Amino acid sequence: MSDTDTIQSVLGFMPPFATTMGMTVDHMHGGLPVIAYDYGPQVMGRPGFLHGGALSGLLEISAIAALRVTLGQDESNLKIKPVNITINFMRGGRELRTYALGEVTRIGRRVANVEAKAWQDDPAKPIATVFMNFLLSAPRPA
């Protein structure tokens, strides 16, 4: 799939929660989507800073998007179920556009391990990272 097609497919499976938070695919990086949103009241925590939960939500969507894209078209029917997430906060998110990129560490038969990091002006200075575990299952036969 071309990057343009991948972006369209990621935008296609973004749920209402992601779109109402202003999430979009900013660009592709190494074949994986960089998800981003702008600062605004919907992501503000304490005045002047991103809400940790809003940041976690962005990271989670970027992890799911990375997993979906990595699984690819062949396994697009596979159901992915988040089992858990661990978020580490490194820096307060400021009133800037925020980016998040997920990376699949391993896809097994039943479990996928995915990491993601979020940054603002400098990708080398992450503001938060997550580890997520997903359960993979084939869709129930109709």
Q: Which residues bind another protein (CB under 8 A)?
A: 15-18, 20-21, 41-48, 51-54, 56-58, 60-61, 81-89, 92
Closer to another protein by CB, 30 or 41: give it: 41
> What per-residue string of b and e applies to 58-95 under the rule 16 or more CB within 10 Å gives b?
bbbbbbbbbbbbbbeeeeeebebeeeebebeeeeebee
Closer to another protein by CB, 21 or 28: give it: 21
Min dist CB 122 to another protein, Å, is 19
Question: Treating both helix axes as pointing N-terminal to C-terminal, what angle do 52-71 and 3-13 enclose, rounded to 10 degrees?
Answer: 130
Closer to another protein by CB, 61 or 104: give it: 61
Beta bridge partners of 24: 36
Min dist CB 40 to another protein, Å, is 9
